[in-house]
Amino acid sequence: MYWSLSVSNWLTLLFAILSLGFLVRIFIIFHDCGHGSFLKSRRANDIVGFIAGVVTFTPYLHWSWQHAIHHGTSGDLDRRGSGDLWTLTVQEYLEASRWKRFAYRMARNPFCLFIVGPFVVFIVIQRFPSPKAPPRQRNSVAWTNLALLGVACAMSLAFGVTEFLLIQLSITTIVGAVGIWLFYVQHQFEGVYWERGAKWDYTAAAMQGSSFYKLPRILQWLTGNIGFHHIHHLSPRIPELQAAEVSRMPSRSSRRSRRDAVTSLASLPLRLWDERGKTWSGIGRCGTSAG
């Protein structure tokens, strides 16, 4: 990408797009290390996970801690907020302040979510630990930031500050947009599972609350079988890289949540969860009282 800058910025952008597949697959390896399922040794998983985390601008132990909470609370309306997309119910939106409604609309806007979002998430938010994180997980953010500072300094000295920023930000924007989309489509679709804590069921949340995202074979390989997300949520110790092997006979619930590259676009207008109808609702359909 550095050498292509002397030819054309468009050629550099093409290489950024090509880097997409490699970084998405590295992130899947990072993800599986966090579940202790990529390698047999926990220490080996932690070493590979840390390195992959630096490459993907994500603190390994801190992200894995948040992601474990996500697995234990996915689909539970009473335990939202850790490692998942900001989701409000219709009633919560109607009762929210004008500022909170505005912030929610921005957070759910496709431009903000997939274009601005990658920069905010991977460059800004991932640099700061959660106040609730244990000390080891908080320290992992500091160590990752230190490693990234070293990489940025080395790359800037080798290529130049402007060149490094141009290359890195283009990669972060493109790869981050696809990464956020893959996460978005896994839990945002009609028929998804949401229940209050008293009625919440782990198996139902896994099989009905996670999608089966059917991709072409080459994309399935590059994304590390992340589309078989219902299998992964059913048993997190099953690596994403092997999820396809244990999904030879999809259940009725996985067929209902099956999506492909075209049908998944229908999830873009989904904004608010209607608890009464157990379906999604657009913000515009909540009535004028919502502003």
The tens digit of pLDDT for each residue in 100-159 reads: 999 999 999 999 999 999 899 999 999 999 999 999 999 999 999 999 999 999 999 999
Residue range 223-227: mean pLDDT, rounded: 80
Domain ranges for the chain, please list them.
3-290
Length of the chain: 291
Q: Is the pLDDT of residue 264 over 60?
A: yes
Asked whether the predicted pLDDT for residue 253 surpasses 90, the reply is no
Express each pLDDT in 149-165 by its tens digit: 999 999 999 999 999 99
User: What is the structure's pLDDT at 291?
Assistant: 42
Whether pLDDT at 171 is above 80: yes
Work out the pLDDT band at 245, boundaries 50, 70, 90. Answer: low
Residue 224, pLDDT score: 79
In this prediction, residues 61-74 reach a mean pLDDT of 93
- Maximum separation of any 2 CA atoms in the chain, in Å: 61
pLDDT over threshold 60, residue 219: yes
Distance, in Å, from the CA atom of 244 to the CA atom of 77, rounded to the nearest integer, reads 29
Contact 270, 87 (CB under 8 A): no
Give yes or no for residue 260 having a pLDDT over 70.
no
How far, CA to CA in Å, does 74 sit from each of 83, 129, 149, 197, 212?
Answer: 9, 21, 34, 11, 16
Model confidence at 184: pLDDT above 70: yes
CA torsion sign for 125, 126, 127, 133 is positive
Pair type for strands 258-260 and 212-214: parallel
Contact present, 269 and 68 (Cβ < 8 Å)? no
Give the Cα separation of 242 and 224 in Å (integer).
8
Q: What does the pLDDT read at residue 287? A: 52
Instruction: Please enumerate, as own/partner, the contacts of 124-131 that have beta carbons within 8 Å and a separation of 24 or more.
Output: 126/57, 126/58, 126/59, 126/63, 129/59, 129/62, 130/62, 130/66
pLDDT digit string (tens) for 4-63? 988 988 898 888 888 888 899 999 999 999 999 899 999 999 999 999 999 999 999 999
Q: What is the pLDDT of residue 252?
A: 45
Which of 22-26, 131-135, 184-188, 227-231 bottoms out in mean pLDDT, i.e. has the lowest? 227-231
DSSP structure class, residue 75: T
